[in-house]
Every structure is written in C-alpha cells, then in structure tokens.
Amino acid sequence: MATFAPERRSNRRAGEVGAASVGAMEQTAAARQAERPPLDAESSRWLADLRSGGRTYDEAVERLHSLLLGAARHEVRRRRQSLPSLRGEELEDIALQAADDALVSVLRRLDTYRGLSRFTTWAYKFALLEAAVALRRRAWQGREVTLEPEGWEAFAGARGPVEDSEQAELLTAVRVGIDEALTSHQRKVLLALAVDGVPIDVLADRLGSTRGALYKTLHDARRKLRAHLTEQGLALEGGAS
C-alpha cells in the first residue's frame, strides 16, 4: 500500500517537478520500466513527432495545443455555473491561457511520460489542472480568507443543536482536539480547507505555500486529530486510528 510520503512531495505544486525529487522520480520510472506495456500507435506517433524537428515538430505542437485547448474548454464548461459574473470571452481567455501553460508543461515533461496511459490522457490532465487552478483562483479573487481560530467557533455556533448524542460527543471532542492537539499552523490550514471550504490552490497562494505542502499539513492534522479521538475512546467511521 502506498502511503503518504511528504519528503518527496512537500515543496511542489501538483504537476511540478522539484529538483530534489528528480532522482527519486527517475528511480521510480526505472523500476516501472519493466511493467510498461507497449505504446499504442497513436501515442508512439505523438512522441516521435514531438521529438522530431522542423515542420513535423511544429505541426505536432500545433495539434497538441489544440488538444489541450479542448481539454481546458471542457474544464471551463464544467465550472462556468460557479462563475456567473464571467463573460464568455473571459472564460475563453482562461481556457487559452491554461492551454498555453499546459503546452509548456507537457513539452518540458515529455521525457517523464511513462506510457502507462495513452499520451492524450496523460496530456489532458495538465490542461485540466491549469484551467481548474485558474478558475478556483478567479472564483476567490477579492474574497477574504480568514485564518483565525474564531472561524471554528463561528462554524460550531451556526450549526445549531445536534440531536444525535454520539455525534454531539464526537463534535465536542473534535473541537477540543483541534484546540489542544494541533499546532497553530495545522489548525489554521484545517479550518480553512475543511470548514471554510477555501480551495487548496487559493490557500497556497495566500500563504505563499504549495498544494503539496498544504495537503501534507492537512494530512498530519487529521492524523493527530484521529489519534486524539481514539485516545478518548471515541469510535470513528472507517475504524481509523
């Protein structure tokens, strides 16, 4: 079972390759070489064309950009209802910028493509990531992100009475655990992401951090909180400890 291994991921945004991790990633890639299936013809052609030169390369880059733009537009369509204030041309600009950024990422990381999926599936995810991050940032543009401990009090008070006594007990224990078991930074990150619903990319921007680093903080906070609750003798869903 693969488990969370923060030492390899703590300082990179999803999709980015940190210099410190290159060696580890190369080892991983080499270890997986043996399990790599033969490339399908279409993926082989993509790789050959993007590694060629001249007109073949230029045309492949153009086709790739068109492919990525289609994926970015797909992401924009999925989210446009959450951004009613944006006009069509603004959404198209976001899609275009996402496709441009994704093209750079794909060409830069071409040698990391392992052939474990079709090339197009591998490339799509870069465009989806760029578009999703841009749209989340846009949705939170100008919105304040509160990182104060009072946020938890406001949340708990707004929910009203809890009828289920077991849940009420668990909720109280969670509140105590958040206050007592977590560091100040863990508390702020947990409340912002899990209670206030701040997107992780937006919080990373506001804190000058990265998605990977913030998720590690969230993961560690959850683990400490679960351990605290288990120590209190509380049963958790999933049987976690």
Partner 1 sequence: MEDILHRILGPAEPEIGCVECFEELDRYVEAEIAGGDADAAVPGLRAHLDGCPACREEHESLLELVRGGA
Q: Does 2 engage in binding with partner 1 (CB under 8 A)? A: yes
For the CB of residue 106, give the shortest distance to partner 1 in the complex, in Å.
12
**Under rule CB under 8 A, which residues in 96-155 are in contact with partner 1?**
116-118, 121-122, 124-125, 128-129, 132, 136, 155
Instruction: Give the residue carrying structure tokens 């999933």.
Output: 238
Residue 65, helix vs strand vs coil: helix
Task: Give dist(CA 97, CA 115) in Å, integer.
Answer: 27
Angle at CA 71, nearest 5°, toward 59 and 201?
A: 120
For the CB of residue 72, give the shortest distance to partner 1 in the complex, in Å.
10
Site string for partner 1, 5-24 (x = CB under 8 A): xx-xx--xxxxx--------
Where does the chain have alpha helices with state H? Answer: 22-33, 41-50, 54-79, 88-108, 119-139, 150-158, 165-181, 184-190, 200-207, 211-231
Q: How many residues sit close enough to partner 1 to count as binding (CB under 8 A)?
A: 59
Task: Give dist(CA 102, CA 135) in Å, integer.
Answer: 15
Task: Give dist(CA 239, CA 232) in Å, integer.
Answer: 14
Closer to partner 1 by Cβ: residue 86 or 129? 129
Residues forming contacts to partner 1 in the complex (CB under 8 A) are 1-6, 8-9, 12-16, 70-71, 74-75, 78, 116-118, 121-122, 124-125, 128-129, 132, 136, 155, 159, 162, 164, 167, 170-171, 174, 178, 190, 194-195, 199-201, 211-212, 215-216, 218-219, 222, 225-226, 229, 236-240
